[in-house]
Amino acid sequence: MKRPTSRLKKSLAHPLDNDRQRLHEEEEKIRLLEEKIRKQEEAARRKLENLPKELEDRKRRQQELHRLHLVSSPTRADGLSKLRDKRHPLRQKPLAVGGKRMSERRAARMQFILLCVVLGVILLLLWKSLSAS
């Protein structure tokens, strides 16, 4: 039996080295992905911490714009027009809010027409019965 030569030893050790190299590369990829996820998590955490402050700032800016709009828009005291802003405290709300929808209007119109036709038929029959006697 032949003794294993150095070439044979290299070829036997080589698959293990390939596996080690492949595992090392995969570990490096996983480490990079973990680092990327950690950075994203930290950015999301910072954003979440700043969110209440941003919401408060946005609300404050909207209120300021609302106040500016009320100051610059004509009022009843000006005699120029009604208040235009729906949220103004002095604006009176109409009694009939909204109104009928298009389908409801169409149905009401059809009902009116049918009632008129029925009334016309009744009047026609009444006239004929009076004229016959």
pLDDT, tens only, 71-130: 665 555 554 444 555 555 555 555 555 667 888 999 999 999 999 999 999 999 999 999
**33 CA to centre of own chain:** 32
pTM: 0.36
**Domain spans of the chain?**
9-79
| CB-based burial label for 44 (10 Å; 0-12, 13-18, 19+) | exposed
Full DSSP string of 33-64: HHHHHHHHHHHHHHHHHHHHHHHHHHHHHHHH
* Degrees, nearest 5: CA angle 118-124-125: 90
CA 93 – CA 6 distance, rounded (Å): 98
